[in-house]
Amino acid sequence: MSNDLHDIAQQLVAPGKGILAADESNSTAGDRLADCGLENTPENRRRYRNLLLNTDGIGEYLNGVILFTETLNQESDDGVKFPKLLQNKGIIPGVKVDLGKVDFNGFPGEKITEGIDGLAKRLQKYKSSGAKFTKWRAVFTIGADTPTPECIHTNAVNLARYARIAQDEGYVPIVEPEVLHEGGHSIEDCEQATSRVLSEVNYQLDRYRVDCKATIIKTNMVLPGKSSNQDVDDDTVAEKTVSVLRENLTEEIAGVVFLSGGQNANQATQHLNAIAEKEPLPFEITFSYGRAIQKPALLEWSGDPDNIPAARE
């Protein structure tokens, strides 16, 4: 595998900075805009991205930004395409490349992610944008009988196949298996499910000959379900999360970035800080948050140009 990909992977997880997940699909971006009373139009989505990505000084805090495909071709208020704008700030642009989740036939309540067909051609098309890394997300729900081994296996194979294709096309893959925070499950249930998922993903990455030194894992923290009412302190979250990572991931992985997964900004930050205090780990860790970074700024902005300075601050 090219040393360039190893270098890019290391840059993406360089200490002291993280990765912004600004890759909401058009429908999900519409949900964010609706929170501000704004219509879901291409121009409002562009304004939303511009609010975030055109902030002065974000290069001090971000190694990379994951973009949605639409955003690759949109421009800032200054007429600069967003990937170029990020590069000018010393930030690596990336792109979400899966085509979303669909029902897993025969397995009620479970989802698989689509997009393997035609992936190589799509990746070749994105090259001209300047994107250097990619992301593919698979989700797993904790329930009485879920996640099933079949759902875990199918999604893990797709994640590994995606990662192999991405590397062949010259991109660093971010592999995102997310055990969802929604539900009434305990932290112990999440610990077990996350272990099973990461173990299978790690196994399939090896089987499909993915270069782990040029691969980043994006995963959930080990948390009780949102509606569980289980009271768990930050140190317990950190201890269980770090234990799951150590036991189920190869030490060769370039790094692990955490998703916020519906936590509020304070929770996501406190938990990350507690995890960081468990260092040293055999790989770099950092954040790849979306809502936990964006939501306070988005609500401050609410589409009003006069609110842009305060939102960016």
| Residue positions annotated with a catalytic role | 176, 218
- Of 285, 248, 261, 21, which is closest to residue 142 (Cα–Cα)? 261
CA dihedral (191, 193, 197, 200) positive or negative: positive
Give me the residue label for tokens 């299978």.
Answer: 200
Give me the residue label for tokens 């842009």.
Answer: 308
Tokens of 172: 């660093």
Report the distance separating Cα 276 and Cα 271, nearest Å.
9
Report phi then psi at 193, rounded to 5.
-65, -45
Report the distance separating Cα 215 and Cα 295, nearest Å.
28
List the 255-258 sheet strands across, edge first: 18-22, 62-67, 92-96, 133-140, 172-179, 216-219, 255-258, 284-287
Residue type, 296: P
Beta pairing class for 111-113 and 101-103: antiparallel
**Residues 287, 281 contacting (CB under 8 angstroms):** no
For 68-222, where are the alpha helices, taking DSSP H only?
69-72, 82-88, 119-126, 149-168, 187-207
